[in-house]
Amino acid sequence: MPDFETIEQQVEVGGHQFTLTTLADNQQFHDPNGVFEAAGVAPAMWSLFGILWESGLLLAEAMVTEPLADRTILETGCGLGLASMVIAHRGGTVIASDLHPLAGEFLSINVRHNHLQPIPFETLDWHHEYATLDKFDMIIGSDLLYERGQPELLANFVDHHSKAKSTMILTDPGRKQVGAYTRLMEANGFTSSIETHDTVRLIRYERST
């Protein structure tokens, strides 16, 4: 890829080897015309989508055993799309999404690396409601909550695009915004449970009606 450096990584998830093109490090940056900043990607956040973080790996591992039959799934903030690729590898129905303009390109490259069928990709901004976007049985995401206003944005987005009976799975390395997010999700009818995996938490939100 031009203007920034990438590498290939081999990652084992659920006994299957995945090949990923990632950014070489989190110091990469290229936005000469301000396109990414105009899309809502701050310079300090530019590279984060293109690194495989521990939270992203835990989310992908969770998808190895998650029931997929007859469920429609949306990954928000997909970054490299590893969790979506695990779902696709298992035959599940998934749409990947991210705000970063390069995420869809990296997803396409990684899908081809791993000989998977194309995974639909949407550029989604939590500030907006999308009338043409379905309601999903499950929404998943890893390390999504950095800033003060994000819990409300994400909780509203998940509420609007989840079915009455639905699941949301969030993996998180201990961001302080998660407490506020959990309270908002509970106000929207979700119950929550937490599993701790080393330094990363897996938080499951369930709504039954």
Give the Cβ contact number of residue 84 at 10 Å: 30
Q: Is the pTM of this model over 0.85?
A: yes
Q: What does the alpha-carbon distance between residue 132 and residue 47 come to, in Å, rounded to a whole number?
A: 29
Q: Alpha-carbon dihedral of residues 158, 188, 172, 118, nearest 10 degrees?
A: -20
| Predicted pLDDT of residue 98 | 95
From the number of C-beta atoms within 10 Å of its C-beta (0-12, 13-18, 19+), residue 93 rates as middle
The low-confidence residues of the chain, meaning pLDDT below 70, are 1-2
In terms of DSSP H, where are the helices of 51-205? Answer: 54-62, 82-89, 103-113, 150-161, 178-187
| Predicted pLDDT of residue 34 | 75
| Predicted pLDDT of residue 2 | 57
